[in-house]
Structure 1
């Protein structure tokens, strides 16, 4: 094998395989084209993945605060009149569509799915809190 052919093969091998430096800003590995002197992105270093773990243990007061915050932010409920024993239908005139929106907001806040049969029993904030405490095994 002559020297120029060997040099060409070696240069091509470096171009394809050599990873010169790591760019902390873009989180990608940067391969160096030594022959051309132009860096290019080889492949992304961080691929999206999901980690599953239990969150922090919830207490009843934490659940109460989060549920009441979601209910206070809902536009059909007066935030100054809401209490744990308030009735959605009688006190605020919440219809079935508004009730579904409330349940969806609770599902989004706690990252759970609530079956329709269970959500029909939510007549007051206390019912929602009790359901969530039973579901998350809160004994406080």
Structure 2
């Protein structure tokens, strides 16, 4: 189920994670600091980016990921990006947006209220699925 930012904050707190917003280095939108069960989100980001970032960091937190620098960390990052996309994007809505905007990832992202990176990660997942596994409701 797709949640708004405030609902995700409540989910994080219910799971025992603290979330704070503050200015962080420009090369990073958010951080999960596993020893402290702390998620830091850049306060200067637009809400839709904060929402995507919080979801991403929550996935790291739920898996107790401890960094992305190692080989294990790179695999965790790939998993996190995939799961984030699956949390934030609804398949039928994506398919409709894909058709409406002729595959333009920026316009699709805007329509779905996610970042372009989330759209690209969703596309990667979608391309790896067997066609019969993606079910769309008939109109």
If the length of structure 1 is used for normalisation, what is the TM-score? 0.26
If the length of structure 2 is used for normalisation, what is the TM-score? 0.26
When Rg is computed on C-alpha atoms for both structures, the one with the higher figure is: 1
